[in-house]
Amino acid sequence: MKVLLTDQVFPSVETERALLSEAGHELVIASTPEDLRHHLADADAVLTTYQPLPEEVLSTMKNAKIIARYGIGVDNIDLASAASRGIMVTNVPDYCVEEVAEHAIAMALSLHRRLHDADASTRAGEWGVASVRPIHRLSTLTAGFLGFGRIGRRVASTMATFGCRIVAHDPYATDLPSTVNGVEMDELLGQSDLLFLHAPLTAETRGIINADTIARLPERAIVVNVARGPLVVLEDLIAALRADRLGGAGLDTFPTEPVDPGLLIDVPNLLVSPHTAYYSEEAITESQRKATNQVIKVLSGEKADYPLTAG
């Protein structure tokens, strides 16, 4: 069967090609928009990363049995439309949990310990704690989590080892550990000295961190977003940093990517990275292998490991 790769973002797709060939399938890589439209019409399966697949695109797909996304979020795919057409949608929700959690924690700790200020003052010939005051013990702070899935739980367990009190708001999490306090959104905002965003991007969560919600955070709270960029209204966050309302922000994702670097010039206490929290060599290989295996399983009539629609 024909398996279409909509957007080639990896250094190599030999993993996909070898697995699919062994299963008797052909891998086709779209090279132009016209090429993409042509192959979507009769592809039996689709592998995708960032390519938007809205209803008007899905309506052109006559043979597709599965759309397999390499990553975790599927906001680039119209799930309802796929389900109505009997197309299975899968993701790989467990491929980079370690990496993203590590990245979030690294950002939070760097901002909390004000390492950027310490580095700058040391290089400027200053000595002592004047440039980093005030810093409070982590054990006196509350770490809050908006979204409490695999990654959020891993970050929370690490922050708890530093003595942080842990609170979480996730309407879909029903089995919170006894060490985690489930709270409503208002309580989350009011209590989080460190706010970690681990929510999916939905109509309800888009722009959820904005001028109003930032104003409800404790003074000089730190916000870390390694989830989806549009969770945050970037202009509001930057304004809060410039006004010294927030103690810091760590952003790995942005509403528009690549982000306009001009927006980031001279923004105080802002730590950014270019959507790399997911990355390690091992994570990339795992994502490619697992996404491809979903295709192979569904095309052979087996159950997918990570179904998001019934198909």
Joined together, the tokens standing for residue 261 give: 């670097």
Catalytic-role residue among 116, 242, 275, 289: 275
Taking the C-alpha atoms of residue 20 and residue 2, their distance in angstroms, rounded to an integer, is 10
Q: What are phi and psi of 169, to 5 degrees?
A: -125, 115
Joined together, the tokens standing for residue 280 give: 């390690």
Which DSSP helix (H) or strand (E) runs through 181?
A: strand 180-182
Q: Is residue 37 annotated as part of the catalytic site, yes or no?
A: no
Q: Is residue 116 annotated as part of the catalytic site, yes or no?
A: no
Following DSSP, what letter does each residue of 10-75 receive, concatenated? SS--HHHHHHHHHTT-EEEE--SHHHHHHHHTT-SEEEESS--B-HHHHTT-SS--EEEESSS--T
Q: What are phi and psi of 249, to 5 degrees?
A: -150, 135
Taking the C-alpha atoms of residue 31 and residue 13, their distance in angstroms, rounded to an integer, is 14
User: 51 Cβ partners below 8 Å, 6+ apart?
Assistant: 6, 7, 36, 76
Q: What are phi and psi of 289, to 5 degrees?
A: -65, -45
Considering only CA atoms, give the Rg of the chain: 21
Q: Is residue 114 annotated as part of the catalytic site, yes or no?
A: no
Catalytic-role residue among 235, 257, 282, 302: 257
**Are 173 and 183 within 8 A, CB to CB?**
no
Catalytic-role residue among 103, 114, 153, 228: 228
Taking the C-alpha atoms of residue 120 and residue 59, their distance in angstroms, rounded to an integer, is 55
Task: Give the residue numbers marked as catalytic.
Answer: 228, 257, 275
